[in-house]
């Protein structure tokens, strides 16, 4: 019997090794291990043997059966994996078809994206962000900011006034800059302060380079011992964060009613080298000057502190700087937007390019 | 303002190119908008000629053949078409090779058979005035062949500086010259008013005229001199050429002198015909409301009580500081001139010129505020020219009402303050040199300098900080170090919690596929009718602009919805099938808010979705169209992201579909609305499909949001979950079913949510079946069916009693 078992095992092993599909394997399983197969029958017959033979014969037959079972399982697993791979390889699709459902992500408006980018730069420098009213008074928009009574910006040709809105310094208007918040904040918060004011502003101007509404970010830092050099360093950090690490800054003296000294700030052009492109042509972005005018700023005028002196701002001890930049201008420069009108047309073909 | 460099060089030595000058001016505070050129690019080949003979051209009636001495060995033949050319004249000649202002290069040409080697010039051919009635005749003392540039400014570069409002002193060439002197170190000439032919007449008024100034605040100084035996005529060519280069037309010698002196000194002057001043007396006074005056430009102006004028016995004769009156204008017949140089209140002049829509060279200078002392400087310079160019005699006396301005201010400039304001030192000697170059008088002090402010900077430089600016701007800011200030606020900075939440709300909408727009804050007042607002609707409380740019932009938007509809209509007109848009921005209502602000403004977050809720694709060809539930889902996303608890409530808004309007309510009140836009409103934007819309006062929503979330244990004891299908009358809302289930199942029902709605035959007419997920949970144990069974009975009973509901199936 043992010889027969060994013989069956050898034969079965050879046939299992030669099997070429899981179906053939299944046939072999039935043939050698099925209920009617010889090996299980031999195992059942062990009980008929004389007791002294049963031990060895039983062991041998059992081992043979287990060996064959493992061989078949192993081979079957291999066939299944191969057959699955083959089936999956056939089950292919055009992976270049677009995704579906087409729930594409939306977009922030470029002005929002730019505003947030700038806010984040100053937040990183420790500034807080505050917002203020767009309908303002003459007091906050002009008087407290040291605007001469004859300052041209006050003219009805330049500034929108609101009907039925008070007299004199209480007259209401649409703020022409974000600077009124300088006063409101200093009335509420004693020094030192470091903050920016993003917001919408209005001027009576409409042509290729002006829209009657636009957006600014005001900056104000007040403490003892703040210097013009600090302003330069702060704006240099800003310029490099927004326009690239190689940027340089140029301050040009200017006049603003609420700063003294006042400076216009130019950033070195990021499209060219000193006004000339790599091809040696005149740079169209900076018009060949090598500099881009980006904002106005200066040291807070002592008269502005005088307007809030009762709130702890003493012109003799406190100094500060303020700056105001146009979000549209930064966005146009950085993203090459050629015309202001794109910002307010809200054409989806424009909106989807940014943010 | 135009500054011809050729003329400027009379006052300051100029060695830099125009571009270099512009840069230097820009870097010291005077922006130069443009560099122009006046006249031919080069003055080469333009010379003085003597007409030796002028004969009729044999073949052309209108041409003369002239023999002209141009300093060469032989006279040259020039054919000339001017009627006034005659032998013996000294003329301007362009020789062959000369390049005319329009760029054409002159050659030798045959005119009707006779070779002409040159051109005798008329004024307009050199860009001087518009006269082409004849050639320009020069004075006979000039030698033939003299370069024309030595006679008058043939060719000059012209700077166009943009003055800042504080620099009235730079409204004249001498002021610019002084800036260049300080900025470049170039030598500055003595002021052109140094020699006053009327110096001896100061201190007494001339006979024959009296002046009364009613309000010294409006007219701080009024000076006048009288000239007799004046011959009004043409100005000499050098004067015309300078005015032309500065962009001014020549009128007559007297008027040209006033303009010339203004262009140099920055101080406007006005010449009256003395004989046309009725009664020999002038009064400076405020106009009466409705009073009329015809100005020099021929316009009749109606004045008001804030406008300052000069009147004589017959009434108004000049608009103070802005424009003279035609009644007293200098004419060819004038023989006596009263020359007025006054100082006017800048704010008042600004108001007058704005009010009348009349800006002049004079008003733009007076607006900046001029110094009283400057008036006599202009008188001095003009007097010399009147004597020289009009043959006038100066009547003894200078009328002067108001006199000099206040005593000069002396300001201490401390070295320490320079460092503390700029962050870098400037040597005291350097500061002194700069200030002296600018005309300040400087004496040494212990800790710095004592600086006396010159009269022309009196209003602009009043404090130490102003002096520091002067020193810093001329010294140059290029070498300023760049440092970062210490932040000693004790606060971390960054966005506030609420600002972060507003960003989060916007980000949620972006994440859900919406594009952000930025609309106009301005709106058309007709917006109220387009939104179907009743006459007394609160949204009609518009913030109205007094001086709008157009009626379509004459009020501030009372709602964020119209901006979104505008953008949708714009894009759909350009082929978009639908839109998913939002805006985050201000909305305005009239009247003072609780915060005392002039109008109440809030930060609105609005969105509209119309057309397919998402772009169709190959595997999703027909996505559903946006409906009210689209807006509802967006509100849920936004407020869910903010952690704001809210409920839907019935409401009515005239611009929304009356059956599809929902209000957003929180414990603190209404936060906004959502729904579908009323089809009639949508039609007004030419949109014919349903528009899902929402608006949230995002500022208030963010203020109501919890500052942070507190942990709830939802994992240790998982809820027991079951579904209920309830049939209720169709009028019963989903929210009331959920409320009923939650209340009856209290405290173990932790969630009840409608997930399916069905109406049809199986549930009976007028009834609807709602399927709900219901979660039961307790924080301290896992619930069993035995725990839940009694509650379920209570729920079924409550649905029956309260809502006429029954469990389905």
B93 is written with which tokens?
């000649």
Question: Are residues B520 and A344, on separate chains, in Cβ contact within 8 Å?
Answer: yes
Judge whether residue A148 has pLDDT over 90: no
Judge whether residue A297 has pLDDT over 80: yes
Q: How many Cβ atoms sit within 10 Å of the Cβ of residue A54?
A: 13
User: Chain A partners of B580 at a C-beta cutoff of 8 Å?
Assistant: 106
Gap from A126 CA to chain B (nearest CA, Å)? 4
For residues B174 and B262, is the Cβ–Cβ distance under 8 A?
no
Of B401, B422, B439, at which residue does a domain stop?
B401
User: Chain A partners of B26 at a C-beta cutoff of 8 Å?
Assistant: 252
Nearest CA in chain B to A107: B515
B283 is written with which tokens?
């009064």
Question: Are residues A200 and B422, on separate chains, in Cβ contact within 8 Å?
Answer: no
> Is the domain of B369 the same as that of B248?
yes
Which carries the bigger pLDDT value, residue A119 or residue B760?
A119
Into how many domains does chain B fold?
Answer: 6
For A:83-102, CB contacts with B below 8 A are 97-102
Residue in B485, B598, B616 nearest the CB of A137:
B598
Residue in B27, B491, B516 nearest the CB of A108:
B516
> Is the domain of B163 the same as that of B148?
no
Instruction: Say if A251 is an interface residue toward chain B (CB within 8 Å).
Output: yes
Judge whether residue A132 has pLDDT over 80: yes
> Is the domain of B363 the same as that of B217?
yes
Question: Are residues A111 and B518, on separate chains, in Cβ contact within 8 Å?
Answer: yes
User: Chain A partners of B517 at a C-beta cutoff of 8 Å?
Assistant: 109, 346, 351
User: Chain B partners of A101 at a C-beta cutoff of 8 Å?
Assistant: 614, 617, 619-620, 623
Closest by CA to B673, choosing from B686, B685, B660, B682, is B660
Asked whether residue B597 is assigned to any structural domain, the reply reads: yes
CATH at B433: 3.30.56.10
Question: Are residues A250 and B488, on separate chains, in Cβ contact within 8 Å?
Answer: no
Please, what is the Cα angle at A139 between A136 and A144, to 5 degrees?
120
Interface with A, mutate which of B35, B478, B598 (most A CBs under 10 A): B598
* Element spanning B261, H or E: helix B253-265
Of B372, B401, B430, at which residue does a domain stop?
B401
pLDDT in the model for residue B173: 97
Question: Are residues A229 and B424, on separate chains, in Cβ contact within 8 Å?
Answer: yes
User: Chain B partners of A98 at a C-beta cutoff of 8 Å?
Assistant: 617-618
Nearest CA in chain B to A174: B545
Terminal alpha carbon distance of chain A: 83
Residue in A127, A221, A261 nearest the CB of B468:
A261
Alpha helices in B51-151 (DSSP H): none
Gap from B16 CA to chain A (nearest CA, Å)? 18
pLDDT in the model for residue A213: 97
Please, what is the Cα angle at B173 between B170 and B174, to 5 degrees?
80
Question: What residues make up the domain containing B414?
Answer: 410-475
Q: How many Cβ atoms sit within 10 Å of the Cβ of residue B755?
A: 9
Instruction: Say if A261 is an interface residue toward chain B (CB within 8 Å).
Output: yes
Residue B234, classed as helix, strand or coil, is: coil
Find the mean pLDDT for residues A147-168.
Answer: 87
For residue B725, list its beta bridge partners.
Answer: B771
Closest by CA to B308, choosing from B326, B285, B341, B325, is B285
> Is the domain of B613 the same as that of B583?
yes
Which contacts qualify for B199-205: CB closer than 8 Å, 24 or more apart?
Answer: B199/B380, B201/B225, B201/B394, B201/B396, B201/B397, B201/B398, B202/B376, B202/B398, B202/B400, B203/B398, B204/B396, B204/B397, B204/B398, B205/B397, B205/B398, B205/B399, B205/B400
Give the range among A196-210, A216-230, B117-131 with minimum mean pLDDT.
Answer: B117-131
Nearest CA in chain B to A320: B421
Share of chain B above pLDDT 70, in %: 99
Asked whether residue B127 is assigned to any structural domain, the reply reads: yes
Packing angle between helix A38-45 and helix A2-18, nearest 10 degrees?
160
pLDDT in the model for residue B529: 96
User: Chain A partners of B603 at a C-beta cutoff of 8 Å?
Assistant: 131
Question: Are residues A162 and B463, on separate chains, in Cβ contact within 8 Å?
Answer: no
Instruction: Say if A105 is an interface residue toward chain B (CB within 8 Å).
Output: yes
Instruction: Say if A171 is an interface residue toward chain B (CB within 8 Å).
Output: no
> Is the domain of B444 the same as that of B298?
no
Asked whether residue B489 is assigned to any structural domain, the reply reads: no
Question: Are residues A125 and B484, on separate chains, in Cβ contact within 8 Å?
Answer: yes
pLDDT in the model for residue B595: 58
Instruction: Say if A281 is an interface residue toward chain B (CB within 8 Å).
Output: no
Cis ω for the linkage preceding B423 (within 30 of 0): no
DSSP characters for A270-333? SSSBTTB-TTSPBPTTTTTSSEEEEEEEEEEPHHHHHHTGGGT--TTT-EEEEEEEEHHHHHHH
> Is the domain of B670 the same as that of B727?
no
Nearest CA in chain B to A223: B488
Question: Are residues B549 and A107, on separate chains, in Cβ contact within 8 Å?
Answer: no
Asked whether residue B666 is assigned to any structural domain, the reply reads: yes
pLDDT in the model for residue B201: 84
> Is the domain of B120 the same as that of B22?
no
For residues B556 and A135, is the Cβ–Cβ distance under 8 A?
yes
CATH at B234: 3.50.40.10
User: Chain B partners of A253 at a C-beta cutoff of 8 Å?
Assistant: 27-29, 469, 472-473, 477
Q: What is the pLDDT of residues B673-703, one digit of tens each?
A: 999 999 999 999 999 999 999 999 999 999 9
CATH at B92: 2.40.50.140
CATH at B679: 3.30.930.10
Asked whether residue B483 is assigned to any structural domain, the reply reads: no
Closest by CA to B193, choosing from B268, B265, B271, B255, is B265
For residues B186 and B14, is the Cβ–Cβ distance under 8 A?
yes
Instruction: Say if A237 is an interface residue toward chain B (CB within 8 Å).
Output: yes
Cis ω for the linkage preceding A25 (within 30 of 0): no
Asked whether residue B485 is assigned to any structural domain, the reply reads: no
DSSP 8-state symbol, A171:
-
For A:115-144, CB contacts with B below 8 A are 116, 119, 122-123, 125-129, 131, 133-137
> Is the domain of B297 the same as that of B310?
yes
Stretches where chain B sits below pLDDT 70 are: 130-133, 592-598
Residue in A134, A161, A227 nearest the CB of B423:
A227
Of B677, B704, B731, at which residue does a domain stop?
B704
> Is the domain of B451 the same as that of B357?
no
For residue B90, list its beta bridge partners.
Answer: B50, B138
Asked whether residue B711 is assigned to any structural domain, the reply reads: no
Q: How many Cβ atoms sit within 10 Å of the Cβ of residue B463?
A: 15
Nearest CA in chain A to B419: A227
Nearest CA in chain A to B364: A152
Asked whether residue B504 is assigned to any structural domain, the reply reads: yes
For residues B482 and A321, is the Cβ–Cβ distance under 8 A?
no
Terminal alpha carbon distance of chain B: 91
Nearest CA in chain A to B31: A254
Find the mean pLDDT for residues A156-185.
Answer: 93
Interface with B, mutate which of A176, A253, A254 (most B CBs under 10 A): A253
> Is the domain of B127 the same as that of B235?
no
> Is the domain of B415 the same as that of B387?
no
Find the mean pLDDT for residues A316-329.
Answer: 95
User: Chain B partners of A107 at a C-beta cutoff of 8 Å?
Assistant: 510, 515-516
> Is the domain of B248 the same as that of B104?
no
Question: Are residues A172 and B599, on separate chains, in Cβ contact within 8 Å?
Answer: yes
């Amino acid at each position: 019997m043992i010889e027969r078992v060994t013989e069956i095992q050898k034969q079965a092993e050879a046939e299992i090794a030669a099997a070429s599909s899981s179906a053939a394997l299944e046939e072999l399983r039935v043939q050698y291990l099925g209920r009617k197969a010889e090996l299980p029958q031999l195992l059942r017959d062990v009980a008929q043997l004389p007791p002294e033979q049963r031990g060895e014969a039983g062991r041998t037959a059992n081992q043979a059966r287990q060996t064959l079972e493992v061989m078949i399982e192993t081979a079957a697993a291999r066939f299944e994996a191969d057959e699955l791979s083959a089936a999956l390889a056939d089950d292919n699709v055009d992976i270049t078809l677009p995704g579906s459902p087409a729930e594409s992500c939306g977009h922030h408006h470029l002005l929002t994206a730019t505003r947030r980018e700038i806010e984040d730069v100053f937040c990183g420098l420790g500034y807080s962000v505050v917002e203020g009213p767009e309908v303002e008074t003459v007091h906050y928009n002009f008087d407290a900011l040291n605007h001469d009574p004859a300052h041209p910006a006050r003219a009805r040709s330049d500034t929108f006034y609101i009907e039925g809105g008070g007299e004199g310094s209480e007259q209401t208007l649409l703020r022409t800059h974000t600077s009124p918040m300088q006063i409101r904040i200093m009335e509420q918060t004693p020094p030192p302060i470091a903050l920016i004011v993003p917001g919408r502003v209005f001027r009576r101007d409409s042509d290729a380079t002006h829209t009657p509404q636009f957006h600014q970010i005001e900056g104000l830092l007040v403490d003892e011992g703040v210097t013009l050099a600090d302003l330069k360093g702060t704006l240099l950090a800003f310029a490099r964060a927004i326009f690239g690490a190689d940027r340089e800054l140029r301050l040009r003296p200017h006049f603003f009613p609420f700063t003294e000294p006042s400076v216009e700030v130019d950033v070195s052009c990021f499209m060219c080298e000193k006004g000339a492109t790599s091809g040696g042509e005149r740079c169209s972005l900076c018009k060949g000057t090598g500099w881009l005018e980006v904002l106005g700023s200066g040291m807070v005028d002592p008269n502005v502190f005088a307007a809030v002196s009762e709130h702890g701002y003493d012109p003799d001890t406190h100094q500060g700087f303020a700056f105001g930049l146009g979000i549209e201008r930064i966005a146009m420069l950085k993203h090459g937007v050629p015309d202001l009108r794109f910002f307010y047309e809200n054409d989806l073909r424009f909106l989807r390019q940014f943010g | 303002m135009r500054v011809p460099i050729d003329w400027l060089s009379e006052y300051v030595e100029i060695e830099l190119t125009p571009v270099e000058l512009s840069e230097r001016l820009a870097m010291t505070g005077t922006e130069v908008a443009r560099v122009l050129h006046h006249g031919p690019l080069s003055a080469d080949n333009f010379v003085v000629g003597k007409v030796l003979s002028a004969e009729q051209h044999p073949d052309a009636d209108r041409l003369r053949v002239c023999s002209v001495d141009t300093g060469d060995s032989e006279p040259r033949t020039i054919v000339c078409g001017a009627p006034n050319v005659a032998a013996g004249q000294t003329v301007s000649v362009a020789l062959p090779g000369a390049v005319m202002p329009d760029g054409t290069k002159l050659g030798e040409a045959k005119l009707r058979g006779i070779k002409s080697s040159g051109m005798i010039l008329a004024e307009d051919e050199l860009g001087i005035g518009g006269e082409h009635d004849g050639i320009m005749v020069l004075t006979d003392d000039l030698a033939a062949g003299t370069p024309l540039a030595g006679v008058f400014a043939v060719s000059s570069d012209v700077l166009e500086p943009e003055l800042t409002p504080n620099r009235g002193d730079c409204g004249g060439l001498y002021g610019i010259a002084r800036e260049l002197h300080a900025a470049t170190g170039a030598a500055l000439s003595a002021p052109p008013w140094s020699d006053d032919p009327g110096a001896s007449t100061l201190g007494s008024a001339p006979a024959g005229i009296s002046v009364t100034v009613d309000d010294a605040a409006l007219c701080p100084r009024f000076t006048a001199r009288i000239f007799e035996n004046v011959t009004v005529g043409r100005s000499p060519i050098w004067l015309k050429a300078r005015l032309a280069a500065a962009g001014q037309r020549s009128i007559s010698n007297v008027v040209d002198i006033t303009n010339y002196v203004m262009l140099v000194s920055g101080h406007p002057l006005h010449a009256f015909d003395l004989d046309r001043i009725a009664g020999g007396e002038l009064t400076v006074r405020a106009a009466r409301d409705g009073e009329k005056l015809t100005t020099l430009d021929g316009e009749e102006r109606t004045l008001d009580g804030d406008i300052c004028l000069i009147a004589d016995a017959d009434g108004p004769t000049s608009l103070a500081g802005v424009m003279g009156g035609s009644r007293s204008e200098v004419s060819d017949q004038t023989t006596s001139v009263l020359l007025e140089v006054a100082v006017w209140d800048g704010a008042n002049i600004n108001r007058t010129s704005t009010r009348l829509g009349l800006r002049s060279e004079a008003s733009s200078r007076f607006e900046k505020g001029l110094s009283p002392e400057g008036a006599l400087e202009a008188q001095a310079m003009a007097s010399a020219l009147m004597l020289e160019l009009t043959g006038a005699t100066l009547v003894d006396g200078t009328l002067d009402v108001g006199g000099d301005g206040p005593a000069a201010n002396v300001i201490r400039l401390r070295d320490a303050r320079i460092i503390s304001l700029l962050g870098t030192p400037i040597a005291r000697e350097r500061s002194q040199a700069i200030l002296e170059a600018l005309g300040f008088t400087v004496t040494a002090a212990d800790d710095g300098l004592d600086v006396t402010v010159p009269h022309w900077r009196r209003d602009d430089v009043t404090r130490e900080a102003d002096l520091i600016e002067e020193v810093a701007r001329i010294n140059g800011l290029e070498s300023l170090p760049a440092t970062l200030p210490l932040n000693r606020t004790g606060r971390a900075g960054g966005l506030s919690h609420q600002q972060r939440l507003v960003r989060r709300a916007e980000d949620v909408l972006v994440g859900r596929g919406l594009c952000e727009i930025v609309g106009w804050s301005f709106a058309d007042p007709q917006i109220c009718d387009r939104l179907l607002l009743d006459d007394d609707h609160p949204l009609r409380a518009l913030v109205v602009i007094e001086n709008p740019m157009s009626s379509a932009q004459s009020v501030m938007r009372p709602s964020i919805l119209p901006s979104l509809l505008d953008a949708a209509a714009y894009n759909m007109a350009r082929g978009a099938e639908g839109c998913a848009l939002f805006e985050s921005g201000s909305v305005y209502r009239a009247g003072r808010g609780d915060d005392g602000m002039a109008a109440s403004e809030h930060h609105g977050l609005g969105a509209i979705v119309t057309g397919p809720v998402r772009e169709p694709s190959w595997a999703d060809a027909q996505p559903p169209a946006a409906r009210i539930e689209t807006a509802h889902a967006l509100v849920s996303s936004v407020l869910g992201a903010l952690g704001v608890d809210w409920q839907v409530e019935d409401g009515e808004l005239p611009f929304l579909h009356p059956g599809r309007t929902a209000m957003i309510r929180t414990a603190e009140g209404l936060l906004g609305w959502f729904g579908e836009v009323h089809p009639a409103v949508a039609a007004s934007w030419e949109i014919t499909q349903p528009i899902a819309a929402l608006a949230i006062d995002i500022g208030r929503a963010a203020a109501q949001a919890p500052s942070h979330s507190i942990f709830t244990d939802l994992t240790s004891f998982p809820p027991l979950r079951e579904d209920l299908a309830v049939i209720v009358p169709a009028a019963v809302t989903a929210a009331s079913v959920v409320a009923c289930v939650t209340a009856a199942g209290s405290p173990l029902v932790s969630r009840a949510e409608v997930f399916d709605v069905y109406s049809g035959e199986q549930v009976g007419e007028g009834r609807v079946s709602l399927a709900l997920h219901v979660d039961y949970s307790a924080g301290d144990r896992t619930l069993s069916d035995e725990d839940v069974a009694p509650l379920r009975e209570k729920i079924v009973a409550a649905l029956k009693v309260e809502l006429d509901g029954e469990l389905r199936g």
